[in-house]
Amino acid sequence: MAGHAIEITDANFESEVLASTTPVLVDFWATWCPPCRRLAPTIEKLATDFVGRVKVGKLDTDKNTEVAPNLRISSLPTVVLFQGGKEVDRVVGYVEEAKFHEMFSRVGVK
């Protein structure tokens, strides 16, 4: 995966997301999903702009089939913000970058 966004998988979800000491934004996506492809550049930009402050990752729901159902993710894209191992915010569908800035500010990230 290019850039600063990390690949989140069923195998590393606990260590990369739940055990993280920094907030983690996870984009649940699939290759066949047009809104997911449209959102991808925004997710990568956030990963670059917030490096060191927010961990940004992408989880391909076709390749990783355990985590998304456990989190009741039924529409793509769904982007979830975790802090301290708990979900603190979620958006479903394509949204503009400003929405993510709002989410980050609610957890104290500027």
The pLDDT value recorded for residue 2 is 52
Is residue 1's pLDDT more than 80? no
**29 catalytically annotated:** no
Q: What are phi and psi of 86, to 5 degrees?
A: -125, 145
Of 33, 73, 76, 103, which one is the catalytic site residue? Answer: 33
Which of 36, 46, 54, 81 is the catalytic position?
Answer: 36
What letters, b where the CB count within 10 A reaches 16 and e where it falls short, cover 39-71? bbebbbbbbeebeeebbbbbbbbeebeebbeeb
Tens digits of residue pLDDT in 49-75: 999 999 999 999 999 999 999 999 999
Q: Is residue 43 predicted with pLDDT exceeding 90?
A: yes
CA 61 to chain centre: 12
Query: Averaged over 76-100, what is the pLDDT?
Result: 97
Active site residue 89: no
